[in-house]
Chain A
Amino acid sequence: RKEVEQDPGPFNVPEGATVAFNCTYSNSASQSFFWYRQDCRKEPKLLMSVYSSGNEDGRFTAQLNRASQYISLLIRDSKLSDSATYLCVVETGGGNKLTFGTGTQLKVEL
C-alpha cells in the first residue's frame, strides 16, 4: 500500500459544482494531516489542516477517519480559481517529515 494514495484525476467540473477528493494513508501512527494546493510549477500552499472532528473553512470542508485511515476534502460552489492540483499530505516520522500524495487535478470550467 502506498504511503499516501490519491485519485490523480483530472476532475473536470462546471463552475458552482461540489467536488470531493479522497485520500488514504498507510501509517497509522501519523498525527497530522493537511490538504495543500499546488498550481502548475508553483510551490505547495497550505489549504487547511485536517482534524478528527472535521473542519470547515468557507467553501472547503475536510474530514479525517482515523479508523479507516482516510481523509477527504469537499469543495462547494467551485470557482474557476479553484483549478489546481490538490495534495493530500500526511505527517510521518514524529513530526519531522511530510509525505505527499501524487495529487488530484481539478479543472473548473465555465
Chain B
Amino acid sequence: EPEVTQTPSHQVTQMGQEVILRCVPISNHLYFYWYRQILGQKVEFLVSFYNNEISEKSEIFDDQFSVERPDGSNFTLKIRSTKLEDSAMYFCASNQGPLYGYTFGSGTRLTVV
C-alpha cells in the first residue's frame, strides 16, 4: 500500500533555531498538506499546497512557517525560528484531490527546548 514518508521521526531543537521537516507524498497525489497535533490536543490544519503554491493556510501558519516542493518528490515544512509552543507532532498528508480521503505520514515529533 502506498505510503507518505516523513523524516526525521523525532527532532529536538533549541529555541530560535530553524528546522526543516521532510515528507515524500504518494507519487500520484496532487495535493499536499501539513497538520500538527500538540500533545493531548486535536489535529490542526496548517497549510495545503497544490500546483506549486499554497492554496490555503491557517492562522497558525505565520511568517515563521514556509513550505516548499523542491523537486518532484519532496515536500518540506520549514520553521524559521522555533518557539517552545511549536513542540508538537507534525503530520504530512496527501491526496488525489478535494473530497478524497487523506493519507497521513507517521509524523515528526518536534521538541523545542
Which residues in A have some Cβ–Cβ distance to B below 8 Å?
31-32, 34, 38, 41-46, 49, 87, 91, 93-103
Contacts and interface: CB of A to CB of B under 8 A. Distances in A.
| Residues of B in contact with A, size category | 20 to 34
B111 to A, nearest CB: 13
Contacts of B102: 46, 98
Given A41-B89, A44-B91, A91-B98, A97 B106 contact: no
A-side binding surface: helix, strand, loop or mixed? mixed
Interface in B9-25: none
Contacts, number: 54
Contacts of B76: none
Given A43-B91, A91-B99, A98 B105 contact: no
Q: Which of A41, A96, A101 is most buried by chain B, counting CB atoms within 10 A of its CB?
A: A96
Contacts of A100: 42-44
A102 B43 CA distance: 8
B98 A96 contact: yes
Nearest to A103: B42
Residue among B41, B45, B107 with max Cβ neighbours from chain A (10 Å): B45
A102 to B, nearest CB: 5
Contacts of A43: 91, 104-107
Given A97-B56, A99-B45, A102-B42, A42 B106 contact: yes
Nearest to B48: A96
B97 interface: yes
B75 to A, nearest CB: 15
A87 to B, nearest CB: 7
B103 interface: yes
12 contacts: A34-B101, A45-B104, A91-B98, A91-B99, A93-B48, A93-B56, A94-B56, A96-B56, A97-B56, A98-B33, A98-B35, A98-B45
A101 B42 contact: yes
Contacts of A99: 45
A81 to B, nearest CB: 18
